[in-house]
Structures are given as C-alpha cells and as structure tokens.
Structure 1
Amino acid sequence: EIVGVLESVGAAKRWFAENRPVDLIFSDIQLSDGLSFQIFEAFPAHSPIIFTTSYDEYAIRAFRVKSIDYLLKPIKLPELAEAIRKYEELKQAFSPQAYAKKVESLLDSLEMSRRTHKTRFLVKNGEQLIPITQEQVAYFYTANELACLVGRDGRQYLVDYTLEELEAVVDPIHFFRLNRQFIAQVTAIQKIQTYFNGKLKVDLRPETAQEVLVSREKAPAFKAWLDG
C-alpha cells in the first residue's frame, strides 16, 4: 500500500512531522525544491530507504559501502525486484537506531563529495583575472585541443583544464557531459530533438557554431539526468 507521494522537501518534512514511520521509503535525490537529504537530516531515518538516482559514481560507492540500496535511472524492473528482495531480508533484523546512524554517515560522505566540486573558475581576460561562478557558466567545449568556458552572457574564456578534468570537478547535478566536445549546464539546455539512429540533438543557449549531439548509448542517462 502506498501511503503518500511527496514531490518536494517541504511537503515531505510536513508529512514526516505529522505521521508515524513507514515500512519503506523510495526517495529520489533531486526534488522540486532541493535535495532529499535535507529531509533525512531533519528527520533521522527510522525506515529503510531505497534511493533512485542518476548521481555520480562517488555517491553510488557510498550507497554500497553504507549498505543502503539505490536504483540508478532509468530504473529497470529486475533491479527494482532485487531492491525489494534486499528490503525483505533487511526488515527481519531492522534496527531504527543503527540504521539512522548509517544514513547519517552516508549524508556526511555525500556532503564531503559535494564539497570537492568546483563552484568557481578563475579565467583570464586580457590582463585581467575574472572569477566565474558555476551559475554564470552555460557550457564548456573543446576546439583545436583547447577548452573554453562559455558564460550565460555569451562571453568565452580559455580555461586551463581538459574536458576530462572538467567533467571530474563540476557538480553532476548541474552539468552533463553531452559528448566528447561539450559539457553543458542544465540551464543552458533550451530544446532537445530526436535525431538519426537514436541520437538526440541538443540546442544550447548561447547558440553553438556546430550541432550538439548525444549518442544513442548516452541518451537514456542524459534523459534521466534531465528528469532529476
């Protein structure tokens, strides 16, 4: 029996404040008004949680280490069935106190992971050095073996990183590696169209000089990322 579907951190906090613990929680990480971790920081986890996520590999390793299950989007039925099976095994010897400590440890690990992501980039403009925040970044691209940062205002700057290095340091909640040439901020994505052979064509703002395509293999992960 499903007792509630909550789409925001605020709604979930109100629900947990007014209701008794449930048998099992399925929780997306990105909700409409923030991250679901805020819920479990306010209300220690006294129920098993299965996270659904398109989060980065560091976080997924943390889920494994803390023995809390997760479902990677797009969710597949066999993986859902396996997660339910693990829950059935867990509930036989479930200890709310021990589990709450485990979730607290997981949240600490994820917070440390998020702190390793760059939130600013120092770029050179003539003789000036300018700090650019991640919110000001539209996308990164590479051309002639040089990596460029394109701001939301359309200005371009060279950066002292390869695209591989940038992929490792930007926050995966906000940025996605579209292909070998582009990493885009979610707010820069204006339109997505289906393309030949299962590919996706992505329109970015500011406009790009070339087509930006997402491969058929990467398309499911890209759509899951956009879906939060």
Structure 2
Amino acid sequence: MAKNLLLVEHEPLSQARIREVINKYCPDWEVNGPVTSAEELQNSLLNPSIFDLIVCSIRFSDRLCFGAFEDLQIKIPIIFIADSDEHAFRAFDFPCVDYLLKPFSDERLVRAFEKYESFSSSANSKRSRVDSSGKSFENRPFKGYKKRFLTKSGSRLSFVPVENVAYFIAEEGITFLVESGSSQKFIVYHSLNELQSELLDPDKFYRINRSMIINLDNLIEMKPYHNGRLILSLNAKTEEIIVVARERVNEFKSWINQ
C-alpha cells in the first residue's frame, strides 16, 4: 500500500541512500523532503495528518529533533536514525518504530520498514474484546503491542523480548522489568499505567496490584493468602512477596481461566 513518508535528514549521502532503498523496495511510497533543520521540521509538521511515517535523523546541525516532536505532540510513527545509542531512551518517549545506528545496511532499513508496516497493519485490523464488566467492544482497533523493551542496567542498554518478561514492578517512582529465568532487573522508561493501558497484550499481562504487572506465561503456581488474597510464584527469583490484591482476586481468577 502506498505511504506518504517524510524524510528528515541533513546529510546528502544519507538522504540519497534512504531514497535509493525506498525506490528499490517500496517503489509506491512517496518521499517528502528532505527536511534539514529543526525549524523546517516544525513547519513540515503543521499538517501532520498527511504523513504516514517519518524517517528522522536525531541530530541536526542546530539541535536535536525531539523539541519539534514535543512541541507538536506528534503521534506519527517514527524511524529514528542516529550515530550512537546516546538518545535511544528518549527516542522511545515518542512513537518510535525502530532506532537505527549508522552505518546501517539496506537490509536493516528494510526490516525497519517491515516493522512499521506490521504495526500499521495491526493497528488497522479489528477485533472484539470484553472488559471485566462483560461489556463487548466490537470494532475496537487492535493495538500493535510491544514486542521488546529497551532497558538499562548500569550504563548498559539492551533489548528484552516481551516473552522474557516475568513481571514489571514500580519502586519509588521507577519502573523495573524483571527477566524470567535470570531474574535480572532492568529499568524501563514506562509507567505501569502506560504499560497496562497501551503497551502490553491484556491476554498475557495482568496488573495484580498497584505496583506490579505479571506475565501469565511465567506464572508457576498460586496459593491462598491471608485476607482473601492470593500469593503467586513466578519463573523468577524475587525478594518481593507477589500478592494479588483482594479486590482483584475474582477478576484475576477469571483472567487466568480465559
């Protein structure tokens, strides 16, 4: 399907390379630009609805691209291109489809386009869901849920596939991802509310209390706990007692029996 793409890149060689890949692998896409400064970017996005995708170099000669996206609250999918992973965490504060490091191969850029088309296809498909009150939602757009999370441990950045997540936990305003098996703990820059409402598949993940979301695939067993609660064992070592809040026990039991 034809797409309307905005190319944001100030380096002529990189501009030509991206256009060449698009012409070869996505010949029906229309490329607008190139945009070469933050001011041009803001002007180009005064009518953002005309663009389906933005391919954007993070650094201009005058400043970073993020300010323009923040000012205009852009929701268009973005493929970021950068010289280092310095700005990777901030990039994922926006609708980031992928984060490419220069120099990248043609195949790597094509994979980023394929990822965008996969997310776009998922967002446009429909499915019916039922909420906890039993109300059916027909024709609700299906979300492209996260497949991996960019995480930080010390100074190291890494990606953790969503299927390797045992649970998320919020502690003193910071959200951590705990990996199944290894029980390694990583910082993720998403709140539990954002994870629950936008990023995680509700068929796989459940918020058992105010501070924790668990992955059903990593649930080993559950036992009765005092005051009508449940205590859970997951495929990860933890110092925390993993407890389902009393007011969520009935819903949780229904959820795991779906």
TM-score normalised to the size of structure 2? 0.45
Structure 1 position 216, deviation (Å)? 2.4
Identify if the C-alpha distance between structure 1 residues 215 and 54 changes in structure 2 by more than 3 Å, giving closer, same or farther.
Answer: farther
Q: Specify which of 124, 137, 141 is matched with residue 165 of structure 2.
A: 137
Q: Any conservation in 1 of the 2:169–2:213 contact (CA below 8 Å)?
A: yes
Q: Specify which of 221, 225, 230 is matched with residue 195 of structure 1.
A: 225
Equivalent residues in 2 for 1:1-228 (5 A)?
62-63=137-138, 106=139, 109=140, 112-115=141-144, 117-152=145-180, 153-168=182-197, 169-228=199-258
Structure 1: where are the runs of 5+ without partners? 1-50, 64-105
Once the two structures are superposed, residues 42-87 of structure 1 have per-residue CA deviations (whole angstroms, 9 ceiling, x without a partner) of xxxxxxxxx8x76589x95633xxxxxxxxxxxxxxxxxxxxxxxx
Q: Any conservation in 1 of the 2:183–2:238 contact (CA below 8 Å)?
A: no
Structure 1 position 222, deviation (Å)? 0.5
Q: Secondary structure at the match of 1:142?
A: strand
Once the two structures are superposed, residues 151-197 of structure 1 have per-residue CA deviations (whole angstroms, 9 ceiling, x without a partner) of 11211101111211111221111100010111000122111111222
Identify if the C-alpha distance between structure 1 residues 212 and 119 changes in structure 2 by more than 3 Å, giving closer, same or farther.
Answer: same
Q: Secondary structure at the match of 1:178?
A: strand
Structure 1 position 125, deviation (Å)? 3.5
Q: Which amino acid aligns with 1:148?
A: F
Structure 2: where are the runs of 5+ without partners? 1-127
CA distance in 1, matches of 2:227, 2:183: 31
Q: Which amino acid aligns with 2:137?
A: A
Calculate the aligned-residue CA RMSD, in Å. 2.5
Q: Any conservation in 2 of the 1:54–1:225 contact (CA below 8 Å)?
A: no
Q: Which amino acid aligns with 1:155?
A: Q
Q: Secondary structure at the match of 2:209?
A: coil
CA distance in 2, matches of 1:60, 1:120: 30
Q: Secondary structure at the match of 2:186?
A: strand
Match of 2:44 in 1: none
CA distance in 1, matches of 2:190, 2:146: 12
Q: Which amino acid aligns with 1:167?
A: Q
Q: Which amino acid aligns with 1:161?
A: H
Structure 1 position 210, deviation (Å)? 2.0
Match of 2:52 in 1: none
More strand by share: 2
CA distance in 1, matches of 2:202, 2:150: 20
Q: Which has the larger radius of gyration?
A: 2
CA distance in 1, matches of 2:241, 2:167: 14
Match of 1:81 in 2: none
Of the structure 1 ranges 176-185 and 213-222, higher mean CA displacement relative to structure 2 is found in 213-222
Q: Any conservation in 2 of the 1:123–1:130 contact (CA below 8 Å)?
A: yes
CA distance in 2, matches of 1:165, 1:157: 17
Q: Tell me the number of residue pairs that the alignment of Structure 1 and Structure 2 aligns.
A: 129
Q: Secondary structure at the match of 1:154?
A: coil
